[in-house]
Structure 1
Amino acid sequence: MANTANETNFFADVCKNFDSAAQFTAHPEGLLNQIKACNSVYRFQFPIRRGNGFEVIDAWRVEHSQHMNPTKGGIRYSDMVNEDEVMALAALMTYKCAIVNVPFGGAKGGICINPKNYTISELENITRRYTTELIKKNFIGPGIDVPAPDYGTGEREMSWIADTYMTMNPGQLDALGCVTGKPIALHGIRGRKEATGRGVAYAVRECVTVAEDMAKIGLKAGLGDKRVIVQGLGNVGYHAAKFLAEFGATIVGLCEYEGAIYNENGLNIDEVFAHRKLTGSILGFPGATEFKNSMEGLEQPCDILVPAALENQLTVENIRNIKAKIIAEGANGPTTPEAEEIFTEMGGIIIPDMYCNAGGVTVSYFEWLKNLSHVAFGRMENRYAENSNANLINTLESLTGKSIPAEHRLMIVKGASEMELVNSGLEDTMIHSYHEIRETLMTKAGVKTLRTAAFVGSIDKIAVSYMNLGVWP
C-alpha cells in the first residue's frame, strides 16, 4: 500500500500558499475555491504477475483544473507516492503553466513502486497497464490529458505509454501527442531531457542579474562569483549544475541520498557524475570533503542552494542553518511555508518551484505542438535561412571588396536547429516570466515574496480563463 508519511501535508502547504496570495486578488471566494480544488482524483489498483504470484499496484491520476485543455503533468514512480502528493503536484502544475503562459491545465500521476525493485519487463507491464487504465477512464489523450516524465520515469516509460495509446486508438492522427518526453525516434523533441535543469539555470541567472535585488542581500549582480550547492544528481540537478557552471557559477557542493561532498574551490559535475556511475556513490570523490548525512551538505557555505530532489527538504528544523542567500527550487515543494517565512525574515530570496522548474512543461508544450503539427521545428525554414544569409554575405563581400573569414561566415550563415529554437523559446519564456513575477512583487502592496507574487499572477490568469469559458459570471 501507499506510504502515508506526510500524507496530509503537501497539498495543504500548496493551499496555504494559495490562500496567502488570494488575499491580494479581487476574485470572489467561490471562484477562488474552484481554482484551488482538484477537479478529478482517480485512484485505482491493478495486479501484475511477479514470479509465480501476483502483486497489487497502487496508482493515481489527478486532473486539478480544466480551465485549459488538455491537462498536463508528469507520472512519478516512487514508493513514497501517495494521493496527497499527487494532488499537490497536480495543483502546482496548474499554477506553473499559468505562470509561464503555457495553455494547459494541471495534472499529475503516480505509481507507488520503487523502480529499482522491478525488472525492465515488469516495469513495462506496469506502465502499459497503468496507461490502459487511464484510457478506459478517458484520463489520457492529446486533447484530454497529456502525461510526461517525472521522478523515477523517463523516455523509456513515455515510449511505452505512447505505444499503448496508439495501439488502443488506431488511426488517431494526433496519437503521439498523448504524452511528451518521448525519445526522438518517437517524435520527441530535442532539448526536452535537459529542459527542467536548463530552466532552473535560466531562472537563477535572471534573478542574480538584477543588481538592485542582489544589493539587498549583500551579493554582486551576475553569476561569475556565485558558489552553488545542488541537492540531487538526477536529471534536474545534474543539468541545473551543468548549465549554472557553464554560465559562470562555481559548483561547490553536491548532495545525494548516500551523502554529500563539498569543495570550496569547485567540483567538476561531469567528473562527479562519472565517479558515481563507476562507484555507485558521490562519496570518495578526490579532493572533496564528504558528509555521510546528506542534509549536512545543504548547510555548507554558498551563495545559492538548488534543492532538486524531493519535497519538504527545508523545514523549520534546518532552515536557520542554511547559509545560502538564494534558494532556487528545482524540486517541487522542497521548502515548507513555515521555513520560507523564516528564510525571508533572514533576508533570503526563494525562487519558487512553480516558476523555477517550469522548463520541463515549457519544452513539453513545444513537443506537443510538434506532434500536432507533424513537422519538426526548423525543418521548413532552416535551409531557406541559410541560403538567404549566404546571399546577403556574398552581396556585402561583392560591394565592399572584403571577404569574411570562414569561421565568421559559418556563424552568420547557419540556420537555427530544432535544439537551438527550443532553447531560445525556453530562455525567452523563463526571462519574461521572471520579470512578470518580479513586477507583481514590486507593485502589489503587501506581497513580500516571489512565491506569493507568482501565485497572484497565476490566480489572475486562471480566473480570467474561467470567466471567458462562461463557467463563472
Structure 2
Amino acid sequence: MPPSKSPPTFFETVNIHFEKAAALTDFPRGLLDQIKACNAVYAVQFPIRTERGYEVISGWRVQHSHHRLPVKGGIRYAPEVNEDEVKALAALMTYKCAVVDVPFGGAKGGVKVDTRKYSAQELEQITRRYTAELIKKNFIGPGVDVPAPDYGTGPREMAWIADTYSAFNPGQIDALACVTGKPVTQGGIRGRIEATGRGVHFGLREACDQAEDMKALGLSRGLEGKRLVIQGLGNVGYHTAKFCQEGGCVVIAVAERDGAIFCSKGLDVEAVARHLKETGSILNFPGAKNLLPTSAALELECDILIPAALENQLTGENAARIQAKIVGEGANGPTTAEAEKILLEKGVLIIPDIYLNAGGVTVSYFEWVKNLSHVRFGRVGKRYEEAALDRMLTAIEKATGRLFSEEERRRIARGADETDLVNSGLEETMIGAYHQIRDLWKRDARTQDLRTAAFLNTINKIARSYLELGIFP
C-alpha cells in the first residue's frame, strides 16, 4: 500500500495560491519562478549563557524578494518556528506589500525560543545577539532589511534591535529606521501597536459595505449587528475585536489557547481582556459559556469568523463544519488550500491575509518614513491648519451672525496630529487596496475569489517591477 501523501507545508500552500493566480497571467515561466522564489535565506545558530548553562539558539532571516528595497517583515519568537514557516511568511510579506502599494520587498525572521521560559535579561541577550548576526551578514539596515514585531515580540525587542544596530553603526543618522514597531520614545510612531487590528476592521467594514456581495451571502450591508467569532486575543485579535465591536459587530465568542468562551448576546471585549490579564485565561468569564476544545469556537454559527492567531487553523478536517459566511484572515495563512476549496464551494467569502492584515506593514512604512525624515507627523502643519480653520469659522460667524461655542471651535478647528494622520493614511490604504482586488475579482470571470484576485494583483505589480529593472549583469 503506497504511503499517504503528506499535506503541503506552509510555504507550499502559499505557492499553491500563487500558482492559481499565475495561471491567469501571460508572464514567462522564468519570471514567475523568480517572483515566487526566496532570494536569500540565512540560518544561524548562536550560543547564549543562562543560569542553566550554555544554550544554542536557532534563528532565521529570509529575504523573499528584492524587487523593492529595503525588504520588510517581522521577527517571530516561537518554540515551533522553522525555516519553512519563515519562508512562507516572507513570501506573504512580499505579496502583502504589493497589495497595499507599500514600496518594500518581503522578508521575515524567526528565533526558535519559548519566551515564557526565559527572563527579560535572557531575551535581551538573544535579541541583541540575533541582531549582531544579522548585521554581520548585512541582513539589517534602513535601506537593506527592516524588521518589525511579530508573534512573541513587541516594542521592547524592537528597541533592543535599534540600540544594537546603532552601537555597530555609530553616527549613522538614519539608524533608527533599521527597524519599526519601536516605542514612540525610541522613534516609533503613534498608532503602530493597534495598526494591524485597525486595518482588519477597515478591511471588513469595506467588504461588508458592498451591498451586492452581502446580498449574495444573505446578509445586510454594513457591520452593524453582525455576529463575530474571533480566534486569538493577542495584539491583532484584541484590537480587531475592539474596533469591530465599536463598529457595531456583536462579538459572540473568543477563542484562546486553553479554550473558548461564548455568549449569544455578545461579549464585552474590554472586560474579557481584563479577565485574561487578571486570571491568565479567558475561561470562566462571567456570563459566558466555556467551550472545549478551543477549536469548537471556529465551528459556531456566526456571520464573520476571524482567525487571528497562527497558521493552518482552518483545514480540510474542519472546513465542512465552518458555519461563518465571511472568513476574515487576521492571521497569516490560517486557511489551508484544501480548506479554502471546501469553503469556496460552500459560498463563503474569504478575505485574504495578504490584504486584510496589511495594516501593520502599512503603518510600519509610515514609521520608516518618519525616521528618515526626522520629524513627527503633524508637527509642521498642525497649528497652521488650526489657524486656517479658525479664520474660516470667524468668517462664517461674520456672514451668518451665529457664534460658535468654545467647544464647537475646539472640535471643528482642530489640526491633525500624528495619530490622526496615521489612522487616516491606514484607512485610505485599506479602502483603496480592497477596491483594487475586488474590481479584479468582478472584472475577470476566471478570478473566482478574492485571494486569487489579490495574488493576481500582486503578480502584475511585481512582474512589472522586475521587467523594468532588468537583469544584472
TM-score, with structure 1 as normaliser: 0.98
Q: CA RMSD in A?
A: 1.2
Distance across 2 between alignment mates of 1:455 and 1:8: 19
Instruction: Note the 1:38-49 alignment, pairs <5 A.
Output: 38-49=38-49
Distance across 1 between alignment mates of 2:58 and 2:109: 11
- 1:357 corresponds to which residue? 357
* 1:7/1:84 contact within 8 Å kept: no
Distance across 2 between alignment mates of 1:247 and 1:375: 32
Alpha-carbon shift at residue 409 of structure 1 (Å):
1.7
Instruction: Note the 1:217-256 alignment, pairs <5 A.
Output: 217-256=217-256
Deviations 1:31-64 (A, max 9, x none): 0000000000000100000125200000000000
Q: Which moved more, 1:7-16 or 1:445-454?
A: 7-16
Are residues 1:194 and 2:175 paired?
Answer: no
Alpha-carbon shift at residue 121 of structure 1 (Å):
0.2
SS at match of 1:110: strand
Distance across 2 between alignment mates of 1:445 and 1:171: 55
Deviations 1:111-157 (A, max 9, x none): 00010000000000000000000000000000000000000000000
- 1:277 corresponds to which residue? 277
Are residues 1:67 and 2:70 paired?
Answer: no
Are residues 1:458 and 2:464 paired?
Answer: no
Instruction: Note the 1:137-176 alignment, pairs <5 A.
Output: 137-176=137-176
Alpha-carbon shift at residue 402 of structure 1 (Å):
1.4
* 1:254/1:262 contact within 8 Å kept: yes
SS at match of 2:116: helix
Identity over the aligned pairs, expressed in percent?
60
Alpha-carbon shift at residue 67 of structure 1 (Å):
0.1
Are residues 1:105 and 2:105 paired?
Answer: yes
- 1:407 corresponds to which residue? 407
Closer, same or farther: CA 7–448 of 1 in aligned 2, 3 Å: closer
Q: How many residues were matched structurally?
A: 468
Are residues 1:387 and 2:387 paired?
Answer: yes
- 2:91 corresponds to which residue? 91
- 1:346 corresponds to which residue? 346
Instruction: Note the 1:107-126 alignment, pairs <5 A.
Output: 107-126=107-126
Distance across 2 between alignment mates of 1:52 and 1:389: 63
Distance across 1 between alignment mates of 2:163 and 2:92: 28
SS at match of 1:330: coil
- 1:329 corresponds to which residue? 329
- 1:50 corresponds to which residue? 50
Are residues 1:448 and 2:433 paired?
Answer: no
Q: Which moved more, 1:50-59 or 1:307-316?
A: 50-59
- 1:206 corresponds to which residue? 206
Alpha-carbon shift at residue 298 of structure 1 (Å):
1.1
* 1:7/1:82 contact within 8 Å kept: no
- State the one-letter code of the partner of 1:86: V
Alpha-carbon shift at residue 405 of structure 1 (Å):
2.7
- State the one-letter code of the partner of 1:223: L
SS at match of 1:350: strand
- State the one-letter code of the partner of 1:304: I
Unaligned runs of 5+ in 1: 1-5
Are residues 1:185 and 2:156 paired?
Answer: no
Alpha-carbon shift at residue 289 of structure 1 (Å):
1.1
- 1:437 corresponds to which residue? 437
Alpha-carbon shift at residue 352 of structure 1 (Å):
0.2
Distance across 2 between alignment mates of 1:356 and 1:385: 32
Distance across 2 between alignment mates of 1:84 and 1:52: 30
* 1:259/1:294 contact within 8 Å kept: yes
Distance across 1 between alignment mates of 2:282 and 2:382: 42
Distance across 2 between alignment mates of 1:405 and 1:317: 62
- State the one-letter code of the partner of 2:215: A
* 1:7/1:83 contact within 8 Å kept: no
Closer, same or farther: CA 166–80 of 1 in aligned 2, 3 Å: same
Deviations 1:214-243 (A, max 9, x none): 111111111112000000000000000000
- 2:25 corresponds to which residue? 25
Distance across 1 between alignment mates of 2:38 and 2:149: 21
- 1:3 corresponds to which residue? none
SS at match of 1:255: strand
Alpha-carbon shift at residue 321 of structure 1 (Å):
1.1
Alpha-carbon shift at residue 410 of structure 1 (Å):
1.6
Moved over 3 A (4+): none
Distance across 1 between alignment mates of 2:37 and 2:302: 38
Distance across 2 between alignment mates of 1:198 and 1:185: 22
Distance across 2 between alignment mates of 1:67 and 1:413: 43
Distance across 1 between alignment mates of 2:402 and 2:237: 48
Deviations 1:183-218 (A, max 9, x none): 000010000000000000111111111010011111
Distance across 2 between alignment mates of 1:228 and 1:143: 40
* 1:74/1:107 contact within 8 Å kept: yes
Alpha-carbon shift at residue 399 of structure 1 (Å):
2.6
Alpha-carbon shift at residue 87 of structure 1 (Å):
0.1
Alpha-carbon shift at residue 396 of structure 1 (Å):
1.7
Distance across 2 between alignment mates of 1:351 and 1:392: 43
Q: Which moved more, 1:186-195 or 1:386-395?
A: 386-395
Distance across 2 between alignment mates of 1:92 and 1:52: 37
Alpha-carbon shift at residue 472 of structure 1 (Å):
8.9
- State the one-letter code of the partner of 2:254: L
Closer, same or farther: CA 87–95 of 1 in aligned 2, 3 Å: same
- 2:3 corresponds to which residue? none
Alpha-carbon shift at residue 467 of structure 1 (Å):
1.2
- State the one-letter code of the partner of 2:184: I
Are residues 1:300 and 2:324 paired?
Answer: no
- State the one-letter code of the partner of 1:282: I
Distance across 2 between alignment mates of 1:268 and 1:451: 32
Alpha-carbon shift at residue 277 of structure 1 (Å):
1.0
